[in-house]
Structures are given as structure tokens and as C-alpha cells.
Structure 1
Amino acid sequence: MGLWNTLANLARWTMVLPVVGLLLGAFYFAWHALLEAASALGQGLEAALPALVGAVDLALLSAVFLIFGAGLFELFIGKLEVPLDNVLAVESLADLKNKLGQVIVMILVVKFFEKALAFKPQAALDFLLFAGGVALLSAALWLARAKE
């Protein structure tokens, strides 16, 4: 029985490695989001908007890494005692999946609007397809919100 407990503890603590890697990735993307937003501030509004959308994309990617790392820590190692308990608290793998899914939907929204900034319609059908994309995006957000 003692050997199994030792192996279980060893397996549990090996999860520290991916958690540390994910947290380092979160800091990396957060740093680059800050740099991108700071570089956009010196530009005019027309030029700053795509850079700021890119900064939001990087910030959301940082959030994915942070939520995933904190979720793995809570599932395998121990409870986190942080003031952002409601955001980072993970009770099960399904809970972690739901939290990550919501952030990933937001990343897709930002990517859609990043592409929309470069959108150059040529015909009426282009506008119709763009409106359909916005409608599908709205439906995805509504479904993600209704799942809570």
C-alpha cells in the first residue's frame, strides 16, 4: 500500500512541470500583449485598432494558459487560495473544459473581428456572407452563455 501511495504522489507532483510551463506561457503572452498595446498607443486611431485587436487576442491567449495551468494545479495538486477564486476555481475536468471553451469562443470572436477590419467587400453577396458570419458568431456567444 505504501508503494502505491508513493507512486500516486509522484504522479501527482509531476503535474507541476506542465503547470509551470503553462504559467510561463501565460506571462509570455501577457507581456507581448502589453508590448503590442503600448506600440499601438503612438499610432493614429486607424492604425492602432488592428494592433489593439491583436493585443486583445494575445491577452485572451494568456488567459487560456492561466486558466488551464491553474485548473490542472487544482485538479491534480491542491486547492489554490487566490482572490480570483471564482474565475480560477475548477472542481472537475468538465468545469475546466467549460471555462476554456468560453475563452476560446472569445478568441474566435476577436479573430473574426481582426479579419473583419481587413474586409473589402466586392459585391452584395460579400455583405450578406459577412452578416451571416456575425449572426453565427452571435449565436455561438449566446449558446456559450446559455450553457452557464
Structure 2
Amino acid sequence: MKNHEQALEKDRAHTSMLERYFEGALWNSRWVVMVAVIASLITAFGIFYMTAVDVYYTMAHLVHYAQLDDEARSHLKAQTVAHVVGSVDGFLLGTIMLIFALGLYELFISKIDQAHESGASKILYINSLDDLKDKLAKVIVMILIVMFFEQAIFLKPTAPLELLYYSLAIMMIGLALYLSHKAYEH
């Protein structure tokens, strides 16, 4: 009987050691998320850089704005507004990548102590995967609204039905903003 109990105890110790090694390896596998965190940061910095360069060249084209005739000035103004709206879109996309990187890091690796100590914006606090998805969804909705605005600048409704569709699209955007705001309150 004693030999049997000793054999069972030895088997449990071996299983426990194997289980500890496996759980340790499983827990440490979360570090693979660092690939996504670093790639997302690089992408965010790249998008911020490209958008900043676009803003610089957009502003550089405005140097001779006052010297243009009315038609050329009107065309340049429309183009500039479209580029500025596109820049907002670019910066929002960079922001998505930054929030995504920070969120993945906080969810899988560790809380960012400096963010919590400095009293940073609550948009950077990520407590769950659903929290990360909600924050990303809000920024994506804003990007879609900006993209709509960018395209709407050049729309010239010619028929009453086109004007109705245009109005309905604006109303749907307002509804989307309202619903996303209400969802955030809860």
C-alpha cells in the first residue's frame, strides 16, 4: 500500500512540474503580441509622418493664393479644403493605430504606469478587449464621417431626389454620432 501511495505522489509531482512548465510557456507566449504592438506603432508614426508632409505641401501651395484670379482661387480653395479634410482622416487613422498598440500592450503585457500616474486621457485606458473595440469603433466612425465630408465637398445636387439623398446621408451621420455618444455614456 505504501509503495502504491509513493508512486501516486511521485506521479503527481511529475504532472505538477510538467503542468508548471506548460503554463509558464503558455503565459510567456503572450509576448508574441509585442510584434503587433511594435508594428502598430511603426504604422502610426508612418501615417503621422505622411500626413504631416501632405499638410506641409498643401500649405506650400497657398503661397500664391492672393495672386490668383477668382476661378483659380475657388478651385484651389476647394482642393485645399479636401486636402485638409484628408489630413484629418490621416491623423485619425494614425491615432487608431496608436490606440490599438497601447491597448494591446495593456491587455496582454502590462499596464502602462506612466499613463495612469500622469492622469492621461481616458481614451488611452484599456481594461478589456471590448473596451479596446469600443474605442477603435468610435475613431473609425469619425474617419467614415470625415471621408463622407471629403466626398460631399464636391457634390452638387442637381435634382430634388439627389438633394433628398444628400440630406438623408447627413441625417444618418448625425444619428450614428448620437448613437455612439449614447453607447459611450453607458
Deviation at 1:17, TM superposition (A): 0.5
Deviation at 1:26, TM superposition (A): 0.6
Among all aligned residue pairs of Structure 1 and Structure 2, give the percentage whose two residues are the same amino acid: 33
For residues 123 and 46 of structure 1, the distance between their equivalents in structure 2, rounded to whole angstroms, comes to 22
Deviation at 1:85, TM superposition (A): 4.9
- Structure 1 residue 13 and structure 2 residue 49: aligned? no
Of residues 157, 163, 167, the one that matches 1:131 is 167
Q: Deviations over 1:53-98 (max 9, x none)?
A: 1111110100111111110100000001224352211000110111
Amino acid at match of 2:46: Y
Q: Deviations over 1:30-69 (max 9, x none)?
A: 1111111111113353331111111111101001111111
Q: Residues 55-66 of structure 1 correspond to what in structure 2 (within 5 A)?
A: 55-66=87-98
Q: Give the corresponding residue for 1:142.
A: 178
Aligned-residue Cα RMSD (Å) equals 1.4
- Structure 1 residue 79 and structure 2 residue 111: aligned? yes
- Structure 1 residue 95 and structure 2 residue 131: aligned? yes
TM-score by length of 1: 0.93
Which structure 1 residue ranges, 5 or more long, are not aligned? Answer: none
Verify the 8 A CA contact 2:44 2:95 in the aligned structure 1: yes
Q: Give the corresponding residue for 1:118.
A: 154
Q: Residues 39-54 of structure 1 correspond to what in structure 2 (within 5 A)?
A: 39-42=57-60, 43=62, 44=65, 45-54=77-86
Which structure 2 residue ranges, 5 or more long, are not aligned? Answer: 1-18, 66-76
The runs of at least 4 aligned residues of structure 1 exceeding 6 Å deviation read: none
Verify the 8 A CA contact 2:78 2:153 in the aligned structure 1: no
Verify the 8 A CA contact 1:67 1:100 in the aligned structure 2: yes
Deviation at 1:125, TM superposition (A): 0.9
Q: Deviations over 1:86-142 (max 9, x none)?
A: 221100011011100100000010010011012122211111100000000000000
Of residues 22, 33, 42, the one that matches 2:40 is 22
Q: How many residues align?
A: 148
Q: Give the corresponding residue for 1:4.
A: 22
For residues 47 and 130 of structure 2, the distance between their equivalents in structure 1, rounded to whole angstroms, comes to 25
